[in-house]
Amino acid sequence: MPEIAPGTESLHLAEDFPPVATAEWEAAIRKDLKGADYEKRLVWRTDEGIAVRPYYRAEDLPTGFPVVRGGGKRWTMAQDAALAPGAIRADRLHEAGANAIQELGYGLAAGVERLAELAAKQPVDSAAREIEFVFAVGSTFFMEIAKLRAARTLWARAVAAFGPTDAESCRMRLAVRTSLRNKSILDRYTNLLRVTTEALAAALGGCDSLDVRPFGFDAHLALNVQRILREESHVDAVADPAGGSYFIERLTAALAREGWKLFQQVESEGGYAKAWASGAIPKALAESRAAREKAVAARRKTLVGVNNYPNLMEKEPEVEPPLEFEGAEPRPFRLAEPFEKIRQRTIRNARLTGRYPKILLLKRGDLKMRMARANFCLNFFGCAGFDMVESEEYAGTDADLVVLCSSDAEYTALAQEVCPKVSVPVFVAGNPKDQIEALQASGVRGFVHVQSNAIELLTSLQDSFGMGKLA
């Protein structure tokens, strides 16, 4: 081989990396799955019911999809700024529990209703330019980027139907605020991580103004998040930086399609005001909220520091929960509130009694299983603010609850040994269905596992510990 001078090498990417057909990718994936269900293992279904596939290719790009980009200008840092009078408050829908499709469909319906009112008194171009939308962004990063891009597209499509003379009139004025729905007084600096993700999603999604709302951390940090995104990360240097991403484009198209369907449904019911007055929209929001609350209570959806991975050293949060926030209809809520109330009940009881309830995680037997189940229980019971102790011994324990952490095969013998010798309730970490009756006969009072509803189980424990109810 002749020697090649440095810097003169030729790259042959087409030859070195020949194209691979989608059918070949799919065949390789199914081979790796070894018979496992493709849809269950690899396809993620969002809260909105949208199926997100494990990968996308150029062929997945929506054909002719009219993406409306941001203005290509710096967004305004609108910390605590007054919103435009009469702004379309899709953020209120978000804070009440709406999913992304509901925010888009209902927000668009409210905007079209407002546009029709204004256009009856003035040219549609000036009427459309008067309308500002306010959206909230949560922590589902790519979904939030796609939601804002879809919002611009849907509004442009709606305004175009009114026949404006200037295409610029179809551009959405988009104010964005970070969500309060996913914030908590527990492990409060995690909120700073959340707003950072949310602010980046808002910027990449093309917001015109952004309000990063502090929750449990200093206001200057909220402002600094935006400064870092602009001055150090230069996120505002490109208009629609997510444009061209196969995944984002496909997700944008899916949200726009489903949002338009919901908008049409609201229009068929007589418009936003009538659909709200009839109870159709409040009912849909309540159902979406209930589904979110259930997912958090069952820990299928994680709020770090709240329902999973609690800070075990944080006995009393350093901030108080707000008495009310954004107190208009639809009624807002925070997903962390039920867990915050459990923690507050534990704190109040500790102040009255001088001690926190103690949970003994009794680890015996199979090393892998006992460690995994003990770690699970640390997270589960730690969310209530209880004191946690791990040990292989139970003699002389002053714990209020003993939780057996072992393998299914070893539980019956362990329960028969422990239950008669302790005076406090004994739980089992896991769900050994074939042994439940035998374990209960041995004295086991309860079970804790991945299918447990944390709110219900922790509240029942507090009741059994004799804790007074919160007012």
Measure the CA–CA gap between 397 and 393, rounded to whole angstroms: 8
| Residues 420, 264: Cα–Cα separation, whole Å | 65
- Mean per-residue pLDDT, 359-386: 97
Rounded-to-integer distance, Cα 33 and Cα 39, Å:
11
- Among residues 218, 135, 142, the alpha carbon closest in space to that of 179 is found at 135
Whether the pLDDT of residue 67 is over 50: the answer is no
The answer to whether the CB of 445 falls within 8 A of the CB of 425 is: yes
Is the pLDDT at 68 greater than 60? The verdict is no
CB contact at 8 A, 431 and 311: no
With pLDDT > 90 as the criterion, what percentage of the chain qualifies?
76
Instruction: Give the pLDDT band (50/70/90) at residue 397.
Output: confident
Residue at 272: amino acid letter = Y
pLDDT of residue 129: 95
Distance (Å, whole) CA 458 – CA 341: 11
> In terms of Cα–Cα distance, which of 268, 244, 297 is closest to 65?
244
Task: List Cα–Cα distances, 64 to 61, 86, 169, 230, 253, in angstroms.
Answer: 9, 33, 21, 31, 10
> Which residue is listed with tokens 């299914």?
408
pLDDT band of 318, cuts 50, 70, 90: confident
Using alpha carbons, select from 221, 214, 179 the residue that is nearest to residue 335.
179
Report whether 128 contacts 159 (CB < 8 A). Answer: yes
Separation of alpha carbons 352 and 354, rounded Å: 6
Average pLDDT taken over every residue of the chain: 91
Report pLDDT digits (tens) over 168-201. 999 999 999 999 999 999 999 999 999 999 999 9
Domains of the chain by range and CATH? 76-294 (3.20.20.240), 350-464 (3.40.50.280)
pLDDT tens per residue, range 405-430: 999 999 999 999 999 999 999 999 99
Q: Exposed, middle or buried, 333 (CB in 10 Å: 0-12/13-18/19+)?
A: middle
**Which tokens go with 168?**
């610029």
Going by pLDDT thresholds of 50, 70 and 90, the confidence category of residue 248 is very high
pLDDT value at residue 47: 86
Taking the mean position of all CA atoms in its chain, how far away is CA 169? Answer: 33
Confirm if 254 and 50 have CB atoms less than 8 A apart: yes
Contact 427, 446 (CB under 8 A): yes
pLDDT, mean of residues 360-384 = 97
Band (59; pLDDT cuts 50, 70, 90) = confident
pLDDT per residue over 106-136, tens digit each? 999 999 999 999 999 999 999 999 999 999 9
Q: Could you tell me which residue, 322 or 48, shows the higher pLDDT?
A: 48
Q: Is the pLDDT of residue 253 over 90?
A: yes
Query: Is-contact 380 455, C-beta < 8 A?
Result: no
User: Which pLDDT belongs to residue 46?
Assistant: 87
Arithmetic mean of pLDDT, 251-255: 95
Confidence of residue 63 (pLDDT cuts 50, 70, 90): low
pTM greater than the 0.85 cutoff: yes
- % of the chain at pLDDT higher than 70: 93
d(CA 275, CA 98): 15
Residue 293's H or E segment, with its range, is helix 280-297
Q: How far, in whole angstroms, is CA 299 from its chain's centroid?
A: 12
pLDDT > 60? residue 166: yes
Average pLDDT of 258-287?
Answer: 97
Cβ neighbours of residue 130 under 8 Å, at least 6 residues apart?
86, 118
Which pLDDT does position 471 carry in this prediction? 60
Higher pLDDT, 112 or 3: 112
Measure the CA–CA gap between 34 and 43, rounded to whole angstroms.
16
